[in-house]
Amino acid sequence: MRTSTWLLTPIFALSLAACGDDKDGETDGTTTAAMTTTNATTTDPMTTTVDPTTSTDPTMTTMTTMTTMTTMTTMTTMTTDGTTTDPDPTTTGVTTDGTTTDPGTTTDGTTGEPVDLDCASYCALYESGCKDFSEYANTQECLDQCGQWPVGLPGETAGDSLGCRTYHVGVANMADPNVHCPHAGKSGDETCVSADAPTCDDYCASYFSSCTEDLNLYEDMADCQDQCIEWYPGTKGATAGDSIGCREYHAGVAMAEPMVHCPHAGPGGADVCVTP
């Protein structure tokens, strides 16, 4: 059966109207989707700057804060050339360019210039700051005594070392020489000495027990104490060196052989308990 043309015309018109409505709806949907896509791609939480004080998104605020903190931490530990810096170079011996300071140097208390831990530098400082409290007869005695000490480290304030004595003589050049010069001297004044340093009491008691009559080179116990007090303590059991420890050792073994060891234990040291 054939349909008449006049019957199809209204139907075709209605179809066109319906298509027009669908096209408008499709255009609106496409536009909305495009806008949504555009907004989603431009709002990158890793690149977009967000003010954490005004943002209402707690995730964005947290991420931004973490990024800021990471950046600040990196800035405090890295220089522009990529080298690391130490937050306090004065306490660690590391300079800002990443190099280390020489552990064998300290600072001159009078000028602030670096001073090597060597006997010449120490004796020069001692003569300038401790001339009124000197334990040395002359520069050569200072150098000889210094040559038998452990070097130690710069800035040590206690212990038997050149580092300790240099620290205290540096302070003595600036203030309180009456306090610090005894610490800086060969005796160490119970400060720049080893923890188990031999004492004059022990040495003199041992000497007077072993070395009697003509072998005793002291007038009395007080004379022994007076001479001993300015000696370098050294360490117990030392068999050589100008120290209390060496004399105490030989005074002990002099119980068996007084003729041999009493001269070593005496104030002169008899070419054994003397500076190298």
In three-state form (DSSP H/G/I as H, E/B as E, the rest C), the secondary structure along 35-64 is: HHHHHHHHCCCCCCCCCCCCCCCHHHHHHH
For residue 188, what are the contacts with CB-CB under 8 A and spacing of at least 6?
160, 164, 165, 197, 232, 233
Instruction: Tell me the pLDDT tens digit for each residue of 210-264.
Output: 999 999 999 999 999 999 999 999 999 999 999 999 999 999 999 999 999 999 9
Query: Which single residue is written with the structure tokens 């309180």?
Result: 176
Residue 25 confidence (pLDDT): 39
Task: Answer yes or no: are the C-beta atoms of 150 and 161 closer than 8 Å.
Answer: yes
For residue 107, what are the contacts with CB-CB under 8 A and spacing of at least 6?
113, 114, 115, 154, 170
Task: Answer yes or no: are the C-beta atoms of 206 and 252 closer than 8 Å.
Answer: yes
**Structure token pair of residue 40:** 């989603």
Instruction: Tell me the pLDDT tens digit for each residue of 87-124.
Output: 333 333 333 333 333 334 444 444 444 557 999 999 99
Residue 85 confidence (pLDDT): 38
Least confident of 39-53, 160-174, 194-208: 39-53
**Average pLDDT score over residue span 186-208:** 97
What is residue 190's DSSP assignment?
A: G
Residue 128 confidence (pLDDT): 96
**Average pLDDT score over residue span 5-18:** 37
Residue 129 has pLDDT above 80, yes or no: yes
**Amino acid code (one letter) for 267:** P
Q: Could you give the C-alpha distances from 17 to 1, 13, 22, 26, 41, in angstroms and in order?
A: 28, 6, 9, 14, 37
Provide the 10 A C-beta neighbour count for residue 23. 10
Residue 134 confidence (pLDDT): 94
Instruction: Tell me the pLDDT tens digit for each residue of 18-71.
Output: 344 444 433 343 333 333 333 333 344 333 444 444 444 443 443 333 333 333
Task: Answer yes or no: are the C-beta atoms of 254 and 265 closer than 8 Å.
Answer: yes
Q: Could you give the C-alpha distances from 180 to 76, 132, 152, 158, 231, in angstroms and in order?
A: 40, 12, 18, 12, 17
Task: Report the alpha-carbon distance of residue 37 to residue 74 in Å, rounded.
Answer: 35
Position 144 confidence tier, pLDDT thresholds 50, 70, 90: very high
Start-end of H helices in 55-160? 58-77, 89-92, 119-129, 139-146
Task: Answer yes or no: are the C-beta atoms of 207 and 269 closer than 8 Å.
Answer: no
**Amino acid code (one letter) for 213:** E
Task: Answer yes or no: are the C-beta atoms of 115 and 108 closer than 8 Å.
Answer: yes
Residue 115 confidence (pLDDT): 59
254: nearest Cα among 240, 238, 266, 242 = 266
106: nearest Cα among 175, 158, 193, 171 = 171
SS3 content of the chain, % helix, strand, coil (to 5): 50, 5, 45
The residue ranges of DSSP E strands in 108-214, in sequence order, are: 114-116
